[in-house]
């Protein structure tokens, strides 16, 4: 079933998001917008409201936990209901009827092609050519019932090709958009998946949006696993394999196991763990984590104990930092190298697997252990490097209580005032190292505050966009966005800030702007001007030393590969390389 997107647009412009949210969360009017303590993090114990609702754009945003969206998103997260239910609920509240099958929207073609392909693949698995794939599943202990539940299938090597079956029914452009076919040099389409066990990927509504395919027999030059490419309907960073299926069993699962592969999800299901999910065709992303957290607060990350698994787990940690809350429990299970969840549960059973979950490493243990391992804690230099490593990580934690707890713990570990270090009050580099490296750089937090200051000033006094101080910011600077913001205010001095907020694409900048929007600071015009001058001064100074800028980008993990090479060149050209330079150079070349 599908709902036309035109109906969704009409629905969202008819309902009042303020009304919808206000029935669930106490909103407070403040200027042209509404604020509240965020319902999605911190148990409502926030000191200042970080949750803002914008009537004119029909959206909400939390500047602490970054929850954001429209009325449908709000209901899905707050009421824990799915898309369809949210739409029904909203429509009912304004007396609109949800059209079940109006005209199909564009997307349905790609979905209908993928759905049709699922049926064909399923039939082929049952046919004589599917025998090897069936044997493979049997060897893994996968029953026919489980294969049916996940709609497993088989793609033919040739005769008939999927393309030959589908091309009479669909137009070529739609087939191309489905992600199921490639095009050769002669412009002919060919099946992307051939001779593979097929895993249909369903979105949260149960629609078929993509496939994963596994080779059954090893073939030279062919990847064991292949996934559909990104299409209009398949945005990899958002999708989780198995989430739809897990929710068929339990709508709001108590916990979810995040595993690496399709077969892990299916193997665990077969042996009784029916709440496993996997990212598909991509490394684990923050968007996926946010999605998981809207269905459960308890996540087990289960990765292989090998290096790739460790890397993937650490990535999960980095993604989780901004989303950490007291009520979110994230734990890690590391299997022995060579083991995967699928083989583990097949050999040792459900109870042994659940025991692993009981003994899982907590987020804080894993996080702190990894930090400690960065250097030798018995030396001052080692401890300061460990602290330095931890700064950008802890800086990502927005939950105030947890942030405080980590600051205190890392302070103990490194035997220094980590809070001051984090806020840029003391310098990161210990005295003896500092002598070799006299270059002073403006700490990230000071730069951040300066950008925040500029936003705050412009929001309160748009006319200050005309000030000539802005010309101090170079046109090739990484602060080019400040010119964009300035130009916006020059052109639209009376526009409400939420309009600009909606236009900012870069998420970090958007969040900073949002922070300025909810800022309680009220400035006199004279002070605003002074503040603007100071902030621009700091920013233009910080730009002067290219090397420091690049290092900072590196530390913030925002460096591009071209900038990495530039930084390497700068270091390599030095007559004398400090120890810090050498470490940095090694790190730059390692990734
Ligand atoms: Zn929040």
Q: What is the pLDDT of residues 330-364, one digit of tens each?
A: 999 999 888 889 999 999 999 999 999 999 999 99
Residue-level pLDDT at 308: 79
Q: Are residues 134 and 230 in the same domain?
A: yes
CA dist., res. 170 & res. 174, Å (int): 7
Would you say residue 553 lies in a domain?
no
CB 240 within 8 A of CB 262: no
Would you say residue 100 lies in a domain?
no
Q: Please tell me the distance between residue 41's alpha carbon and the centre of ligand 1 in angstroms.
A: 5
Mean of the per-residue pLDDT values of the chain? 84
Domain boundary residue among 197, 216, 234? 234
Total structural domains within the chain: 6
Q: Please tell me the distance between residue 21's alpha carbon and the centre of ligand 1 in angstroms.
A: 14
Would you say residue 101 lies in a domain?
no
Most confident among 90-94, 96-100, 351-355 (mean pLDDT):
351-355
Q: Where does the pLDDT of residue 430 fall: very low under 50, low under 70, confident under 90, or very high at 90 and above? A: very low
Q: Are residues 307 and 362 in the same domain?
A: yes
Domain boundary residue among 368, 399, 420? 368
Q: Where does the pLDDT of residue 136 fall: very low under 50, low under 70, confident under 90, or very high at 90 and above? A: very high
Residue-level pLDDT at 427: 46
Q: Are residues 569 and 455 in the same domain?
A: no
Q: Are residues 337 and 248 in the same domain?
A: yes
Q: Please tell me the distance between residue 37's alpha carbon and the centre of ligand 1 in angstroms.
A: 8
Contacts of 577 by beta carbon, 8 Å cutoff, 6+ apart: 571, 585
Q: Are residues 230 and 246 in the same domain?
A: no
Contacts of 150 by beta carbon, 8 Å cutoff, 6+ apart: 199, 200, 245, 265, 266, 269
Q: Please tell me the distance between residue 112's alpha carbon and the centre of ligand 1 in angstroms.
A: 37
Residue-level pLDDT at 43: 62
CA dist., res. 550 & res. 472, Å (int): 20
Residue 477 has pLDDT above 70, yes or no: no
Would you say residue 11 lies in a domain?
yes
Helix 400-414 with 363-372: angle, nearest 10 deg: 30
CATH of the domain at 14: 3.90.580.10
Number of Cβ within 10 Å of residue 150's Cβ equals 19
Q: Which token pair is 416?
A: 């220094």
Would you say residue 424 lies in a domain?
yes
Q: Please tell me the distance between residue 318's alpha carbon and the centre of ligand 1 in angstroms.
A: 18
Residue 482: give the domain boundaries: 444-547
Most confident among 10-19, 195-204, 495-504 (mean pLDDT):
195-204
CA dist., res. 382 & res. 83, Å (int): 50
Question: Closest Cα partner for 120 from 292, 254, 586, 112?
Answer: 112
Q: Please tell me the distance between residue 317's alpha carbon and the centre of ligand 1 in angstroms.
A: 19
Q: Are residues 120 and 169 in the same domain?
A: yes
SS3 99: coil
Distances (CA, A) of 506 to 231, 458, 502, 557: 22, 19, 11, 15
Q: Are residues 285 and 193 in the same domain?
A: no
CB 555 within 8 A of CB 484: no
Q: Please tell me the distance between residue 26's alpha carbon and the centre of ligand 1 in angstroms.
A: 14
Q: Are residues 259 and 191 in the same domain?
A: no
Residue 24 has pLDDT above 70, yes or no: yes
What are the pLDDT digits (tens) for 237-271?
888 999 999 989 987 789 999 998 999 999 999 99
Q: Which token pair is 488?
A: 């916006």
**Sequence-ordered strand ranges (E) for 216-337:** 225-227, 240-241, 256-259, 276-279, 298-304, 329-335
Would you say residue 405 lies in a domain?
yes
Q: Is the peptide bond before 160 cis (omega within 30 degrees of 0)?
A: yes
Residue 456 has pLDDT above 60, yes or no: yes
Q: Please tell me the distance between residue 277's alpha carbon and the centre of ligand 1 in angstroms.
A: 25
Q: Are residues 348 and 468 in the same domain?
A: no
CATH of the domain at 264: 3.40.1360.10
| pLDDT, mean of residues 426-452 | 56
Q: Please tell me the distance between residue 293's alpha carbon and the centre of ligand 1 in angstroms.
A: 12
Q: Which token pair is 226?
A: 């292949």
Question: Closest Cα partner for 125 from 138, 114, 113, 141?
Answer: 138
User: What string of H, E and C letters represents the secondary structure of 102-170?
Assistant: CCCCHHHHHHHHHHHHHHHHHHHHHCHHHHHHHHHHHHCCCCHHHHHHCCCEEECCCCCCHHHHHCCCC
Would you say residue 347 lies in a domain?
yes
Q: Are residues 29 and 120 in the same domain?
A: no
Buried/exposed code over 475-512 (b: 16+ C-beta within 10 A; e: otherwise): eebbbebbeebbebbeeeeeeebbebbeebeeeebbbb
CB 119 within 8 A of CB 198: no
Q: Please tell me the distance between residue 340's alpha carbon and the centre of ligand 1 in angstroms.
A: 35
CA dist., res. 337 & res. 345, Å (int): 15
CATH of the domain at 135: 3.90.980.10
Q: Please tell me the distance between residue 518's alpha carbon and the centre of ligand 1 in angstroms.
A: 13
Distances (CA, A) of 169 to 104, 107, 172, 584: 16, 16, 10, 57
Q: Are residues 251 and 351 in the same domain?
A: yes
Q: Please tell me the distance between residue 43's alpha carbon and the centre of ligand 1 in angstroms.
A: 10
| pLDDT, mean of residues 203-208 | 86
Residue-level pLDDT at 441: 54
Q: Please tell me the distance between residue 500's alpha carbon and the centre of ligand 1 in angstroms.
A: 21
Q: Is the model more confident about 175 or about 89?
A: 175
Would you say residue 586 lies in a domain?
yes
CB 47 within 8 A of CB 55: no
Q: Please tell me the distance between residue 91's alpha carbon and the centre of ligand 1 in angstroms.
A: 26
Domain boundary residue among 203, 219, 234? 234
Q: Are residues 314 and 260 in the same domain?
A: yes
Helices (H), 518-560: 525-544, 546-555
In the sheet where 256-259 sits, what is the strand order? 240-241, 276-279, 256-259, 298-304, 329-335, 361-362
Q: Please tell me the distance between residue 66's alpha carbon and the centre of ligand 1 in angstroms.
A: 6
Helix 363-372 with 307-320: angle, nearest 10 deg: 110
Q: Where does the pLDDT of residue 428 fall: very low under 50, low under 70, confident under 90, or very high at 90 and above? A: very low
Residue-level pLDDT at 541: 75
């Amino acid at each position: 079933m599908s709902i036309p997107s035109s109906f969704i647009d009409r629905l969202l412009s008819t309902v009042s998001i303020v009304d919808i949210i206000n029935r669930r969360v106490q909103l407070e009017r403040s200027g042209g917008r509404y604020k509240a303590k965020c319902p999605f993090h911190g148990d409502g114990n926030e000191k200042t409201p970080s949750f803002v609702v914008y009537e004119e754009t029909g959206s909400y945003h939390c500047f602490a936990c970054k929850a954001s969206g429209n009325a449908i998103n709000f209901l899905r997260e707050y009421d824990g209901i799915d898309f369809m239910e949210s739409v029904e609920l909203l429509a009912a509240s304004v007396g609109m009827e949800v059209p079940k099958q109006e005209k199909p929207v564009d997307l349905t073609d790609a979905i209908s092609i993928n759905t049709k392909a699922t049926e064909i693949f399923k039939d082929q698995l049952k046919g004589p050519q599917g025998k090897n794939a069936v044997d493979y599943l049997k060897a893994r202990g996968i029953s026919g019932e489980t294969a049916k539940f996940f709609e497993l299938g088989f793609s033919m090597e040739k005769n008939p090709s999927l393309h030959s079956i589908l091309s009479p029914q669909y137009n070529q452009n739609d087939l191309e958009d489905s992600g199921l076919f490639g095009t050769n040099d002669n412009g002919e389409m060919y099946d992307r998946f051939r001779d593979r066990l097929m895993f249909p990927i369903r979105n949260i509504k149960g629609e078929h949006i993509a496939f994963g395919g596994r080779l059954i027999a090893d073939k030279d030059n062919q990847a064991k696993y292949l996934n559909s490419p990104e299409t209009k309907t398949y945005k990899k960073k958002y999708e989780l394999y198995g989430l739809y299926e897990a929710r068929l069993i339990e709508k709001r699962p108590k916990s979810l196991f995040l595993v690496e592969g399709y077969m892990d999800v299916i193997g665990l299901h077969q042996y009784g763990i029916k709440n496993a999910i996997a990212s598909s065709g991509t490394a684990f992303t923050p968007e996926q984590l946010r999605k998981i957290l809207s269905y459960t607060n308890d996540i087990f990350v289960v990765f292989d104990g090998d290096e790739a698994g460790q890397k993937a787990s650490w990535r999960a940690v980095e993604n989780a930092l901004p989303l950490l809350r007291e009520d979110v429990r994230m734990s890690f299970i590391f299997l022995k190298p060579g083991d995967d969840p699928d083989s583990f549960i097949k050999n040792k059973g459900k109870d042994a697997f659940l025991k692993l979950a009981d003994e899982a490493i907590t987020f804080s243990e894993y996080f702190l252990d990894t930090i400690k391992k960065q250097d030798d804690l018995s030396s001052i230099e080692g401890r300061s490097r460990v602290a330095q490593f931890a700064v950008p990580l802890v800086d990502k934690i927005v939950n105030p209580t947890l942030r405080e707890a980590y600051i205190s713990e890392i302070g103990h570990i490194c035997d220094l005032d980590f809070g001051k270090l984090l806020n840029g009050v003391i310098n990161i580099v210990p005295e003896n190292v500092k002598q070799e490296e006299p270059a002073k750089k403006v700490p990230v937090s000071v730069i951040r505050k300066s950008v925040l200051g500029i936003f705050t000033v412009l929001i309160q006094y748009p006319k200050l966009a005309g000030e000539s101080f802005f010309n101090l910011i170079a046109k090739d600077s990484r602060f080019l966005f400040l010119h964009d913001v300035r130009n916006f205010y020059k052109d639209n001095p009376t526009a409400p800030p939420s309009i600009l907020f909606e236009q900012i694409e870069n998420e970090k900048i958007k969040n900073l702007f949002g922070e300025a929007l909810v800022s309680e600071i009220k400035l006199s015009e004279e002070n605003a001007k002074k503040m603007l001058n100071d902030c621009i001064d700091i920013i233009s100074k910080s730009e002067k030393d290219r090397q420091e800028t690049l290092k900072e980008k590196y530390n913030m993990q925002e460096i591009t590969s071209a900038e990495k090479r530039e930084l390497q060149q700068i270091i390599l050209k030095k007559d004398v390389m400090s120890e810090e330079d050498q470490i940095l150079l090694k790190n730059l070349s390692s990734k």
